């Protein structure tokens, strides 16, 4: 039976996560309409393996109903979700704060704060019911030394929010992880993510951090 992994967020991370997935893992994308056509229709993690039919769900981040329907679509098809990986990578908006229009400001808040909140709420409800599951938040600054003010606020909010959720739900039968990178080495960061997860160690509220150290020991934790 395939492990069902839901992936939402950065397109670059989605491709790297799918590349690293095993032959017994079925990766399902939640995508915004603008990125749906850019995703590979089949897993690139192994040309020889038999693929299950891929699901690429169009998700409206601004709608709590869309978050719920997206989860229900997967449950109706696969009966469960084993893992959810949610990523955030700034750099999409490069205007200074006073130059951002009100509609764009609202869009940023709706997509990254409200949208991810809606999705996390649905996932937590599901995993409590399942009595199993794992949520991982992947925060990748992509090597940016200075983010735009709103993106910096989103980055900090998501980190604090998910760390707090990890502590709040530590006695439930599922786990919540938070990963962060200050490097532009996205592939190495995703490799670090998979390595850390495979080790099975877990501390509620812990930030697992990949640092851009120029040595043989790149896998730093805070």
Is 8:86 a contact under the CB 8 Å cutoff?
A: yes
Give 10-residue mean pLDDT values along the chain (222 residues). Answer: 90 86 88 61 36 74 95 95 95 84 92 96 98 97 87 95 98 97 92 93 94 53 40
- Given this model, what pLDDT does residue 34 score? 63
- Given this model, what pLDDT does residue 40 score? 45
How far, CA to CA in Å, does 166 sit from each of 16, 132, 162, 171? 25, 14, 6, 10
Q: What phi-psi label fits residue 35: left (phi over 0), alpha (psi between -120 and 50 degrees) or beta?
A: alpha
The predicted model scores a pTM of 0.86
Nearest to 86 by CA among 1, 187, 205, 177: 177
- Given this model, what pLDDT does residue 35 score? 58
- Given this model, what pLDDT does residue 211 score? 83
Highest CATH level, class, for 3-210 = alpha beta
* Extents of the domains making up the chain: 3-210
């Amino acid at each position: 039976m395939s492990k069902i992994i839901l992936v939402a967020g950065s397109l670059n991370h989605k491709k790297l996560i799918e590349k690293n997935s095993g032959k017994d893992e079925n990766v399902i994308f939640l995508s915004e309409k603008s990125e749906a056509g850019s995703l590979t229709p089949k897993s690139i993690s192994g040309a020889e393996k038999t693929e299950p039919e891929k699901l690429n769900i169009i998700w409206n981040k601004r709608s709590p109903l869309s978050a719920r329907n997206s989860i229900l679509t997967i449950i109706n098809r696969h009966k469960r979700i084993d893992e959810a990986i949610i990523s955030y990578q700034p750099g999409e908006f490069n205007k200074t704060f006073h130059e951002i229009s009100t509609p764009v400001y609202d869009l940023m808040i709706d997509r990254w704060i409200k949208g991810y909140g809606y999705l996390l709420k649905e996932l937590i409800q599901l995993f409590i019911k399942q009595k199993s599951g794992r949520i991982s938040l992947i925060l990748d600054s992509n090597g940016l030394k200075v983010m735009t003010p709103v993106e910096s606020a989103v980055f900090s909010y998501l980190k604090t929010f998910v760390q707090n959720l990890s502590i709040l739900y530590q006695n439930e039968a599922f786990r919540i992880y938070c990963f962060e990178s200050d490097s532009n080495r996205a592939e190495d960061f995703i490799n670090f993510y998979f390595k850390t997860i495979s080790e099975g160690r877990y501390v509620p509220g812990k930030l697992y951090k990949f640092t851009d150290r120029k040595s043989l020991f790149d896998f730093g934790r805070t």
